[in-house]
Every structure is written in structure tokens, then in C-alpha cells.
Amino acid sequence: MSTFDQQVTFLLVADLEESTRFYRDIIGLDVVLDQGDCRIMRVTETAFIGICQRAERADPGAVLVTLVTDDVDAEHARLIAAGVSCEKEPGHNPKYNLYHAFYRDPDGFLVEVQRFLDPAWPRP
């Protein structure tokens, strides 16, 4: 068994302010630590997204940020109303037994909003 207590996914972004607006103001995450060129935002009590402004960035196609919720449709409506670009409308994925939708953040990273339908998923 691991001794890990928390998890942070870092994204290297072109414009820290634009990405902060997206993840803070649109997605709704709170900034818990501002390190100047990096900001860490709380997703859950123990999971975080960090955004860091860097000239060198990852290929947006190489990263997928997944946010889990029981109400994908409500999040979809909220994100669309905020002008977020939808890549795939909410729908069932029978292969993985989940319900999800996909969006793009300002740097082109794919953001998935999903609900696990499998009763084996460890809910908080």
C-alpha cells in the first residue's frame, strides 16, 4: 500500500492568467497556492491541478484531465453557458461503463467530465 496522501497534475500553459480564469472562474476550482509562475487549484480534498506558465509545453493531445461528478449534464450546461468549447457532447461509453463529455481548455488540453457507472468505482 502506498503512503501517498495527495495528487497534483501539472499543466504547462502559455498564459497563466487565461488558464487561471478557465480553471478558477469557469471550472470553479479554488486557488490554494500561488507560487508566482505556478498556481495550484483544489479539485477535491486531496486532488489538485497545477498550472505553470512555461515556454516549453506538452503536446495538448498527450494530456487528458478528467473531473468526476455525479451530474455530467449539469456541468455540461454550465460549461457551455460559459462559452467553453465542447469536443464531444455527453454520452454513454459502454466500453468503460461511464457517462462523459469532452471540452478544451485555453491551451488545447482535453478536459473530460465524467460519471463512473460501474458500482465497483470507489466513491468518496
Residue 1 counted as domain residue: no
Q: What mean pLDDT do residues 108-118 have? A: 94
Residue 2 counted as domain residue: no
Residue 29 counted as domain residue: yes
Residue 111 counted as domain residue: yes
pLDDT tens figures, 24-81 = 999 999 999 999 999 999 999 999 999 999 988 878 888 899 999 999 999 999 999 9
CATH number of the domain that residue 104 is part of: 3.10.180.10
CA-to-CA distance for 63 and 101, rounded, in angstroms?
Answer: 16
Q: 105: which strand partners?
A: none
The number of domains in the chain is: 1
CA-to-CA distance for 108 and 43, rounded, in angstroms?
Answer: 20
Which domain range does residue 14 map to? 7-116
Percentage of the chain beyond pLDDT 90 is 83
Residue 96 counted as domain residue: yes
